[in-house]
Structure 1
């Protein structure tokens, strides 16, 4: 098989893995998507996918990274969550992976609550209630961020596809 075909397959794999990374914290989704698109453009000698399209796709990728940062940081900090709650949410997401959708829905919440309780080092009723509130807001912030990143990722795919077909 020709090396060009393998490079296109690699580009496609980067894009697919990047799409998974839009909601899995262990994968840098948007950079992988953009990297796959950039690789495909390079393999085609930038004849089909040109500089302007890549510039737009790159800016969209940076925008999506900003969305992710703002959604998680502002959402979590607004309710006074600790860094341990944010780390717990990320670890909870990873721990939830083997349990598919239920794990991805429950894992970040449980991780954020556990992280906040560890931070507070007191497990009375008031702290558990506050940790649960923080867990919910952390989960919502992650879900909103993932949904927005996914929307940007599919918009990028649409622009990429249009550039190929037009």
Structure 2
């Protein structure tokens, strides 16, 4: 039974890492859930409740980064709320087209959203770039936090 649970942990971590990049999977919460399950498997002997609390705090930070990243990128260049919504929709639609869709979808969505608000291509392009950079930096920050969580867990488990 323990081997099966550890297999579930590894699978959840792998899906969580992928979900950190893909918009429709709750990546960071999946990784946290996997690490919580892993700590529970050992009855919190190797990974303490305190460590799980640290992992929970890192999860909250990652979720907040995810929520704030595109908004901050868009605000930095003066984009409208419609540009941010367009970027989110573009991310979801773009995911169906693989890596090129994930890279271009948020940009095109933000450009279209901004253009429908202000009818200015120059401003729309700036909004697209700002929103895209925000999403990219947010994704990189989430990945860094996920790997930090894994590092904290492995360190606690091995010590």
**Counterpart for residue 140 of structure 1:** 133
The RMSD of aligned alpha carbons is: 1.7
Runs of 4 or more consecutive aligned structure 1 residues displaced over 3 Å after TM superposition: none
Match of 1:63 among 55, 61, 64: 61
Tell me the CA shift for residue 28 of structure 1. Answer: 1.8
Question: What TM-score comes out, normalization by structure 1 length?
Answer: 0.86
Q: Which moved more, 1:43-52 or 1:135-144?
A: 43-52
Deviation for aligned residue 1:118 = 2.8
Once the two structures are overlaid, the 10-residue window that deviates more, 35-44 or 8-17, is: 8-17
Which of 102, 107, 110 is the aligned partner of 1:109?
Answer: 107
How much does 1:85 deviate? Answer: 1.6
Q: TM-score, normalised by structure 2?
A: 0.89
Aligned equivalents of 2:74 and 2:65: distance in 1?
A: 14
- Runs of at least 5 residues in structure 2 that lack an aligned partner in the other structure: none
1-side partners of 2:110 and 2:71: how far apart? 13
Structure 2: how far apart are the matches of 1:13 and 1:84?
Answer: 36
